[in-house]
Amino acid sequence: MVDAWLPYGKTEVCVRVPARNFLGLIKPNEQSVVVDPVGEIERALKEPIGTLTLSEIVDGKNSVAVVVDDFTRSFQSETMLLLLLSELNASGIKDKNISVIFGCGTHRAVRDDEANKLLGEAIIARVKTISHNCRAQDLVFVGKTKRHGNRVYLNRVFAEAEVKILLGDVGFHYYAGYGGGRKSVLPAVSGVDTIRDNHALLLNTSAKTGVLTGNPVHEDMTDAARLANIDFIVNVVANAQGEVVKAFAGDLEQAFFEATKLVDAMYRVQVDRKADVVVVSPGGFPADINLYQSYPAVDNVLSIAKRGGVVILVAECSEGHGDQTFYDWMVKFGELKPVAREIKRNFVLGGHKAYYLLKALQNHKIILLSSMPEYYASNIFKLKAARAVNDALNEAFTLVGRNAKVWVLPYGNQTLPEVK
């Protein structure tokens, strides 16, 4: 037997795979982490890509808005923000003129305890922090995107700031191609209609993981960020444990593109064959906080799972399904074609997750190991439910045969395996 450990919530579970069935553990290509992450971010700030230094950018300016990730992102913004505040203070910007905005997109507001974990109590006490509300009444219209005509409405505090800065991390995203960069504007601080019209573009076949060229979702996000007149970004690429490998600062697009090159080097992993069974974890908390957030792990492994094969999703889902529209569309439509029609006709955020899940179920069986009640997993989301990972593996062997070959991925939301 081969014992393979997978993150599950804030703990781990062990799947025991017979050696004759085990193809291997697919993990990111390890890169050396920086010994001094503070020094690395300071270096990036002092050596911006494609822009003036931050001190030159803020010279003569008064108000600054900084967008940071919300509670659904695993990388904490505290270190980046502390260094950024020091740089702004040294350049004459006072804390009282700095607003930090949690880029919630369509997610719920950040709770006080989450804000303290994300930014630290010292920062919370220093600067104004707000959670973006995509349904707020006082959003600011800044124009239409050049390539897709999306009407862009932005958070007022953000839109009216003299200097706009984005903080975040860059990794794969299953329809924007990559997270980070321009995503800290759209969807992070955009209005619900703007986000809806952008996400409706995901039906395009080029809207997929690791693809930017011709990807309409990415193009629209970039055009929206250009309309927002972003002055500076600070993005990091981290390893699977959240440790900084490299920081990138400077121009909205140039710094972001440099970061995507490192993501490819680390997280695009070549394998020699497809498997009958793929066991995958999103990477533990917070990536597996609900089914909505966990799904990208499934999407990333479909290319290495044989048609008719089984994907075992190891995701705690402590907050259940995570999105009411996702739930409602699964109940109301329940099949791929009517969901696709509804996306074209009347797209509602959350419905896209139903589309992706039903699309995956067309050619694969999915077994979910979670804390979600079996009724919801099976009756609503059409997944087979399991209470132990090795029970799920035995069920998979029953479905596809005892000779089935198995891949295991512990960090599925980040890793993009590809068959050579």
Residue after which a domain boundary falls, among 164, 199, 230: 230
The two structure tokens encoding residue 112:
């006080």
Taking 90 as the threshold, does the pLDDT of residue 30 lie above it? no
Is 196 inside any structural domain? Answer: yes
Per-residue confidence (pLDDT) for residue 343, from 0 to 100: 87
First to last CA, the chain: 27
Could you tell me if 405 and 324 are in contact, meaning their C-beta atoms sit under 8 angstroms apart? Answer: no
pLDDT band at residue 372 under the 50/70/90 scheme: very high
In sequence order, what are the residues at sequence separation of 6 or more whose Cβ sits closer than 8 angstroms to the Cβ of residue 93? 58, 61, 62, 64, 163
Is 251 inside any structural domain? Answer: no
* C-alpha of 308 from chain center: 27
User: How many whole angstroms separate alpha carbon 221 and alpha carbon 122?
Assistant: 33
**Co-location of 319 and 410 in the same domain:** yes
Is 254 inside any structural domain? Answer: no
Per-residue confidence (pLDDT) for residue 136, from 0 to 100: 93
Query: Which residues make beta-bridge pairs with 408?
Result: 25, 279
For 323-350, what is the mean pLDDT? 90
**Co-location of 170 and 310 in the same domain:** no
Condensed to tens digits (0 to 9), the pLDDT of residues 154-199 reads 999 999 999 999 999 999 998 999 999 999 999 999 999 999 999 9
**Co-location of 178 and 311 in the same domain:** no
Strand, helix or coil at 262? helix
State the average pLDDT for the chain.
95
**Co-location of 141 and 90 in the same domain:** yes
Is 100 inside any structural domain? Answer: yes
Could you tell me if 236 and 180 are in contact, meaning their C-beta atoms sit under 8 angstroms apart? Answer: no
pLDDT band at residue 241 under the 50/70/90 scheme: confident
Could you tell me if 86 and 94 are in contact, meaning their C-beta atoms sit under 8 angstroms apart? Answer: no
**Co-location of 284 and 208 in the same domain:** no
Is 319 inside any structural domain? Answer: yes
Could you tell me if 348 and 192 are in contact, meaning their C-beta atoms sit under 8 angstroms apart? Answer: no
Parallel, antiparallel or unpaired: strands 2-8 and 11-17: antiparallel
* C-alpha of 37 from chain center: 22
**Co-location of 146 and 226 in the same domain:** yes
The domain total for the chain is 2
**Co-location of 60 and 203 in the same domain:** yes
CATH code, domain with 219: 3.40.50.11440
Residue 170 per-residue DSSP state: -
User: How many whole angstroms separate alpha carbon 409 and alpha carbon 415?
Assistant: 8
Taking 60 as the threshold, does the pLDDT of residue 361 lie above it? yes
**Co-location of 209 and 336 in the same domain:** no
**Co-location of 142 and 218 in the same domain:** yes
User: How many whole angstroms separate alpha carbon 390 and alpha carbon 274?
Assistant: 21
**Co-location of 59 and 15 in the same domain:** no
CATH code, domain with 291: 3.90.226.30
Is 246 inside any structural domain? Answer: no
- Only one residue has tokens 């999703």, namely 313
Could you tell me if 386 and 395 are in contact, meaning their C-beta atoms sit under 8 angstroms apart? Answer: yes
Residue after which a domain boundary falls, among 213, 230, 247: 230
Q: Which domain holds residue 311?
A: 2-28+269-419
Q: Which residue has the higher pLDDT, 154 or 112?
A: 154
The two structure tokens encoding residue 342:
């509804």
The two structure tokens encoding residue 409:
């991925």
pLDDT > 70: what percent of the chain? Answer: 99
Per-residue confidence (pLDDT) for residue 400, from 0 to 100: 97
Per-residue confidence (pLDDT) for residue 73, from 0 to 100: 66
Condensed to tens digits (0 to 9), the pLDDT of residues 128-141 reads 999 999 999 999 99
Inter-CA distances, 412 with 60, 74, 271, 293, 368, Å: 45, 14, 15, 12, 14
Residue 26 per-residue DSSP state: -
For 99-119, what is the mean pLDDT? 91
Cα-Cα-Cα-Cα dihedral sign, residues 29, 31, 37, 41: negative
User: How many whole angstroms separate alpha carbon 298 and alpha carbon 417?
Assistant: 12
**Co-location of 371 and 304 in the same domain:** yes
Burial track 210-234 (b if 16+ CB lie within 10 A, e otherwise): bbbeebbbbbbbbbbbbbbebbbbb
pLDDT > 90: what percent of the chain? Answer: 88
For 240-267, what is the mean pLDDT? 96
| Residue 403: other Cβ atoms inside 10 A | 10
User: How many whole angstroms separate alpha carbon 247 and alpha carbon 99?
Assistant: 22
Is 93 inside any structural domain? Answer: yes
Is 241 inside any structural domain? Answer: no
User: How many whole angstroms separate alpha carbon 197 and alpha carbon 186?
Assistant: 11
3-state SS of 52-103 is CCHHHHHCCCCCEEEEECCCCCCCCCHHHHHHHHHHHHHCCCCHHHEEEEEC
Per-residue confidence (pLDDT) for residue 77, from 0 to 100: 85
Per-residue confidence (pLDDT) for residue 72, from 0 to 100: 67
Nearest Cα to 96, choosing from 55, 127, 139, 60?
Answer: 127
Residue after which a domain boundary falls, among 230, 256, 280: 230
User: How many whole angstroms separate alpha carbon 127 and alpha carbon 416?
Assistant: 38
pLDDT band at residue 27 under the 50/70/90 scheme: very high
Could you tell me if 27 and 410 are in contact, meaning their C-beta atoms sit under 8 angstroms apart? Answer: yes
pLDDT band at residue 74 under the 50/70/90 scheme: low
Query: Which residues make beta-bridge pairs with 236?
Result: 169, 247
**Co-location of 210 and 289 in the same domain:** no
Lowest-pLDDT choice from 224-238, 312-326, 341-355, 372-386:
341-355
